[in-house]
Each structure stands twice: as C-alpha cells, then as structure tokens.
C-alpha cells in the first residue's frame, strides 16, 4: 500500500515541486501525495474518514493564519500516531527547538533536500 503523505504549505509552487520530486515513487504506487495550503485545510483533510490512513504530514512553519507549529500541536493532540515533520524557510534554532518540544518527528530547512527527505520518510516502507 502506498504511503500517504500530506504536504502543508501556503506557497502554491510547492505542490508542483513535490509532484516532480516524487514522480517515480507516485508512479510506482509507493507514495500518495495530498496537499493543503493552510493549517485549517490540513485539519479538514485529516478529519475526513477517507484520509485516515495519511500517516505522514510535512508542514511549512511560516503560514498566514494557523502556523505550522500550531498545526503540529493540534495534530499531535488529536492524532498522536501520525508523524509530523516541519519545514522552515529559516534555519532558525528557535523554530527547531519549539518544533522538537511540541513533538515534531523531524525538521527540514528550505530548499528541501529531497534525497534526505525520502531517506527519512521511506525508510520504514
Ligand atoms: Mg510559508
């Protein structure tokens, strides 16, 4: 079964980037990608029963409205078994520490190193 991943980012071109970088895994049915452009929209997707097998969430931190760190807290409170990995444009120690305290499973900086990202998320499957 494909690993279902939800990518949360307010920047529109992120979807295209992930679709390009995961084209092979998606074609091989190893990965199934979902996208949300805000924290609220991400929570709506996770609430949907047809999306309950999304187990990895990759979220941008800096978003208008709900920040990625707020989203992280909500997901960890409601779905403790899901993995949440944070992505930040800034190599900001403060964000990293805060994300770790709130239970983030990993932390990446932009531009995302997709080789490393794939190693981390695909190692279990
Ligand atoms: Mg952003």
CA–centroid distance, 24 to ligand 1, in Å, is 26
Partners of 31 in the beta sheet?
3
Euclidean distance between CA atoms 95 and 25, whole angstroms: 30
What pLDDT shows up at residue 90? 66
Mean of pLDDT values over 88-95: 77
Euclidean distance between CA atoms 63 and 66, whole angstroms: 7
CA–centroid distance, 1 to ligand 1, in Å, is 30
pLDDT of residue 125 exceeding 60, the answer is no
CA–centroid distance, 97 to ligand 1, in Å, is 18
CA–centroid distance, 63 to ligand 1, in Å, is 4
Partners of 1 in the beta sheet?
none
- For residue range 4-36, what is the model confidence (pLDDT) as tens digits? 999 999 999 999 999 999 999 999 999 999 999
- The token duo for 70 is 């707020």
- The token duo for 30 is 């190893």
Mean of pLDDT values over 54-78: 97
Residue ranges and CATH numbers for the domains of the chain are: 3-117 (3.40.50.2300)
Euclidean distance between CA atoms 63 and 88, whole angstroms: 10
What DSSP state is assigned to residue 2?
Answer: P
pLDDT of residue 58 exceeding 70, the answer is yes
CA–centroid distance, 61 to ligand 1, in Å, is 6
Q: Is 56 helix (H, G, I), strand (E, B) or coil?
A: strand
Helices (H), 1-125: 13-21, 23-27, 39-47, 68-78, 93-101, 114-122
Please state, rounded to an integer, the average pLDDT across all residues of the chain: 94
CA distances, 30 to each of 6, 9, 84, 93 (Å)? 14, 22, 19, 33
Euclidean distance between CA atoms 117 and 121, whole angstroms: 6
């Amino acid at each position: 079964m494909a690993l279902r991943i939800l990518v949360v980012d307010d920047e529109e071109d992120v979807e295209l980037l992930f679709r390009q970088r995961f084209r092979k895994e998606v074609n091989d049915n190893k990965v199934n990608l979902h996208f949300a452009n805000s924290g609220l929209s991400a929570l709506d997707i996770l609430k949907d029963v047809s999306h309950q097998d999304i187990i990895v969430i990759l979220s941008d931190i800096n978003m208008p409205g709900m920040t990625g760190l707020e989203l992280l807290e909500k997901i960890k409170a409601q779905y403790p078994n899901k993995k949440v990995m944070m992505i930040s444009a800034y190599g900001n120690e403060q964000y990293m520490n805060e994300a770790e305290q709130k239970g983030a499973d990993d932390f990446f900086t932009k531009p995302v190193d997709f080789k490393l990202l794939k190693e981390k998320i695909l190692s279990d499957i």
